[in-house]
Structure 1
Amino acid sequence: MSDSRAEDEAAIQAVLADSYKAWENGDAEGMVAGYTADATAIMTGSLRDGREVIRESMALAFAGPLKNTSTQNRQLSLRFVGGDAAILVSESGVLFPGRTEVPDAAKVNATWVFEKRDGRWLVAAYHNSPVLAPGQ
């Protein structure tokens, strides 16, 4: 791996680490700080079109059902597409207060699309889907 590719990987990891830390702190603004203005987030039953919409929905969630939560995340793969795009796949889940593990039925596989804009890696799109199909 070239030094620049290693630097790109480290920069992408830093964006994720900052976003996860902001989630843990209930900080919606910090959570989307590494997102493009036109980022999209697709989760079961919702399309959040734009960083501001994502921020607003996360602020509501952090004040309500996701209050005092964190996430558990495991990177499954990272591949670069050209010089300014990358796709990261992870397994994630919300860790609710009092829990030490995310139940398998609550885990999701997530696809993160990163774009390098003005020398900075940012989340351009996010999508998740349950690891287990309903009924499994």
Structure 2
Amino acid sequence: MSTTMPTEVPAAQQAAVATIAQRMIAAWAHHDADGFANLFIESGTLILPGVLRQGREDIRAFFKHAFENEFKGTQVTGKPISMRFFGPDVALLLSQGGVIAPGETEVADAQSIRASWFVVRVDDQWQLAAYQNSPMNTRLATPGS
């Protein structure tokens, strides 16, 4: 994982930002919509393919429904691939991973994603201001194809 910072950021803060991904994985493992939503600031934004949710309560409602339906029995995995700080309380974490379907042990190619995590420190707690992911295995259309 590469880390780029305009100013020196203590290793403990870098680790705290990186643990947001682990906290998300844990909330998903328990299908905990509250735990998932609480990773976000009150006005946080979630963007998934075909999904835009604004605010913690909207994110909570989305995952409550999704964990009972399309995400039932799934798990997620991911690992940080890059981290940049834009001051002592703002960072961008990039990761790759994906959703593991029920009965599977690894992410299928069709479920592989890359994600950006815009995190801010509020009251000494790192939280998501915005999370967005995109499929890894899509190709942009090129002229003539």
Q: Which TM-score applies when normalising by structure 2?
A: 0.85
Equivalent of residue 66 in structure 2, options 40, 61, 64? 61
Shift of 1:90: 0.7
Partner of 2:57: 52
The total of aligned residue pairs comes to 136
2-side partners of 1:74 and 1:30: how far apart? Answer: 19
For the pair shown, the structure with the greater C-alpha radius of gyration is 2
2-side partners of 1:134 and 1:85: how far apart? Answer: 31
Partner of 2:105: 100
Which sits farther off after the overlay, 3-12 or 107-116?
3-12
Secondary structure, counterpart of 2:31 in structure 1: coil
2-side partners of 1:103 and 1:62: how far apart? Answer: 19
Residues 48-68 of structure 1: per-residue CA shift (max 9 Å, x gap): 011111111011010011112
2-side partners of 1:57 and 1:10: how far apart? Answer: 28
Over 3 Å counting, the alpha-carbon distance change for 1:95 and 1:3 in structure 2 is same
1:130 aligns with 2:138: no
Partner of 2:86: 81
Partner of 1:109: 114
Shift of 1:74: 1.9
Task: Report the AA paired with residue 11 of structure 1.
Answer: A
Shift of 1:134: 4.9
2-side partners of 1:73 and 1:103: how far apart? Answer: 13
Partner of 1:30: 35
State whether residues 19 and 32 of structure 1, in contact with CA within 8 Å, keep that contact through their aligned partners in structure 2: no
Tell me which stretches of 4 or more aligned residues in structure 1 moved more than 6 Å.
none
Partner of 1:118: 123
Residues 66-101 of structure 1: per-residue CA shift (max 9 Å, x gap): 112111212111111111100001112111111011
Unmatched runs of 5 consecutive residues or more in structure 1: none
Q: Which TM-score applies when normalising by structure 1?
A: 0.90
Unmatched runs of 5 consecutive residues or more in structure 2: none
